[in-house]
Amino acid sequence: MMVANHASWMDIPFLGLMSGFRNYKFISKSELRKVPILGKAIQVGGNIMVDRTNRRSQIKTLKDGIQILKDGVFLCTFPEGTRSRTGKLQEFKNGAFKMAHKAGAPVIPITIVGSADVMPSHWMFPYRPARNVCKMIINEPVESNDKTEAELAAAVRKAMIHSLPEANRPDAE
């Protein structure tokens, strides 16, 4: 499983580019179904869409994600649950770590730096090239077998915070 911080729409293509031609799927919010072309592409690609207001959808997402991981396919998600408006790392939701733990899959923490400078959350399109502005830091994988879900989430969060610039680190940590 790959997890990354989320400060911009650009994070999604960055993760896809980093994954190369490996088989991977994203977990996305169901509201994206309404976006022309993108919504259809997400569905046709076999990615998981979760309705965050529907408990049944959340449980189905959990089961589908565990199966994808057990099938040996990379699952990409943003554990913050939504884009950060400030650029600072937000609190993590538990779903990604629950999936990885139950599937026995390692978690690869990925830190994306500078994407909000290329496309802030209030912009519709990127307004500058990403070259020499953005970078992706691929941290050491964190094994899930020898940890609880909470310990797994804490270890991944620590790795991501360590590789973030000071301005993007959460205030409380």
The DSSP line for 52-71 is TT-HHHHHHHHHHHHHHHHT
- Contacting residues for 156 by C-beta, under 8 A, at least 6 apart: 3, 79, 92, 97, 107, 109, 142
Q: Which helix (H) or strand (E) holds 50?
A: strand 48-50
CA angle 129, 123, 29 (to 5 degrees): 105
Q: Hey, what domains does the chain have and what are their CATH numbers?
A: 2-168 (3.40.1130.10)
Residue 173 pLDDT grade (very low, low, confident, very high; cuts 50, 70, 90): low
pLDDT at residue 172 tops 80: no
- Asked which of 9-18, 39-48, 86-95, 119-128 is least confident by mean pLDDT, the reply is 119-128
pLDDT of residue 154: 96
Give me the phi and psi of 27, to 5 degrees please. Answer: -105, 125
Give me the torsion for CA of 38, 22, 117, 31, rounded to 10°: 30
pTM above 0.85, yes or no: yes
Give me the phi and psi of 6, to 5 degrees please. Answer: -140, 105
| Model pLDDT for residues 77-122, shown as the tens digit of each residue | 999 988 888 888 999 999 999 999 999 999 999 999 988 777 777 7
With 0-12 CB in 10 A as exposed, 13-18 as middle and 19+ as buried, what is 11? buried
Q: Sort residue 72 into left (φ over 0), alpha (ψ -120 to 50) or beta.
A: left
